[in-house]
Amino acid sequence: MIYTCTITPSIDYTTYLTEFRTGKLNRTNEVYYYPGGKGINVSRVLQRLGIKSTVLGFAGGFTGDYIKQFLHNEQIETDFIATQDITRINVKIKSEEETELNGPGPSINHEQQRELLSKVKALQVNDWFVLAGSLPNSIPKAFYQALSAVCHKNGVHFVLDTSGTALKDLVQTKPFLVKPNQQELGGLFDTKIKTKEEALFYAKKLTEDGIRHVIVSMGGEGALLVTKDQAFSAKAPNGTVVNTVGAGDSLVSGFLASYIQYKDVKEAFRYGVASGSATAFRTDLCNKGSVESLVSEIRINLLHE
């Protein structure tokens, strides 16, 4: 069973307008209210790809209720811990450029942390635990490390997709899979990554430190997959980009959905990249049809073995 965990969910208030002017009144006719946060996106895409998962994390207030109901309507199991804080609303403005305004995460007290830890302790060997999205500083890093340690101890595959200092702290716990984007990978090494060669160099360092799979997503440039023995690159297919929010999460879902069924890392990578791009080409997250229509277009190059 796959468990995704979103410490900081959101409603993604997503709006499209031809021209967006800061400092002015902008009116818009096209708006969407999607449940968001990276783990939630991973679960929503998994569901569309025919793989069941349970959403863990924290949710509160009317926005938390909306997210729960929305996921329920999509037949996705949730097991949220209630917060006093109202779950944030993140604003995504799609115009000539994409502008995002992400709110802060909730404050989580000691008791709530313990509650999440005990849920993770109950996972079984060969389950998956996908910790995704920003991890608020209000929670000590030792707590996230404890979540990872419990996974290792119990034979649960730990997948990590976060950013900033939390990413720095948690890569040391040697996850099964990490998916930084280009900027996040650079942040890990206090550098700026500009090319695939540089991304490969730093991703290899992570695998040398014991991480089994590193996927570096590079937006419209595609992605890299680096394991202990091999490295692959994939070019993103051409298409009209509509909304890249959740593209990285879709890549993670596509990879997991395929890997869990066929245990073929290269094919899982292909399916993941197709899923990321299928999301980039739609207003909402990808679905199975849109992913499968792109799979044959994804060319994978072996960089080394």
Ligand X SMILES: O=P(O)(O)OC[C@@]1(O)O[C@H](CO)[C@@H](O)[C@@H]1O
Ligand Y SMILES: Nc1ncnc2c1ncn2[C@@H]1O[C@H](COP(=O)(O)OP(=O)(O)OP(=O)(O)O)[C@@H](O)[C@H]1O
The Cα–Cα gap between 192 and 298 comes to 27
Question: Least distance from C-beta 57 to ligand Y, angstroms?
Answer: 16
Question: Least distance from C-beta 266 to ligand Y, angstroms?
Answer: 15
Q: Which is nearer to ligand X, 186 or 207 (CB)?
A: 186
Please list every residue from 248 through 267 that binds ligand Y, using CB under 6 A: 248-249, 251
Q: Which is nearer to ligand Y, 113 or 182 (CB)?
A: 182
Which region among 30-38, 205-213, 216-224, 273-281 touches ligand X (by CB under 6 A)?
30-38
Question: Least distance from C-beta 265 to ligand X, angstroms?
Answer: 23
Q: Cα 199 to the chain's mean position, in Å?
A: 19
246 binds ligand X per the rule CB under 6 A: yes
Single out the residue of 77, 46, 56, 55 nearest to residue 258, CA to CA: 46
The Cα–Cα gap between 39 and 51 comes to 14
* Sign of the dihedral defined by the CA atoms of residues 45, 219, 193, 271, in that order: positive
Q: Residues 214, 178: contact at Cβ < 8 Å?
A: yes
Single out the residue of 173, 14, 177, 210 nearest to residue 98, CA to CA: 14
> How far is CA 41 from each of CA 95, 232, 248, rounded to the nearest angstrom?
22, 25, 9
36 binds ligand X per the rule CB under 6 A: yes
CB atoms within 10 A of CB 16: 17
Q: Which residues pair with 226 in a beta bridge?
A: 214, 231
Which region among 7-15, 106-114, 188-196, 210-218 touches ligand X (by CB under 6 A)?
7-15
- The amino acid occupying position 302 is L
Q: Pick from ligand Y, ligand X, none: which does 268 bind, CB < 5 to 8 A by kind?
A: none
Which region among 81-89, 122-130, 205-213, 242-250 touches ligand Y (by CB under 6 A)?
242-250
Q: Which is nearer to ligand X, 36 or 237 (CB)?
A: 36
Judged by the rule CB under 6 A, the positions of this chain that interact with ligand Y are 181, 217-220, 222-223, 236, 241, 244-249, 251, 273, 276-277, 280
Judged by the rule CB under 6 A, the positions of this chain that interact with ligand X are 8, 10, 12, 36-38, 41, 90, 102, 133-134, 163, 245-246, 248-249
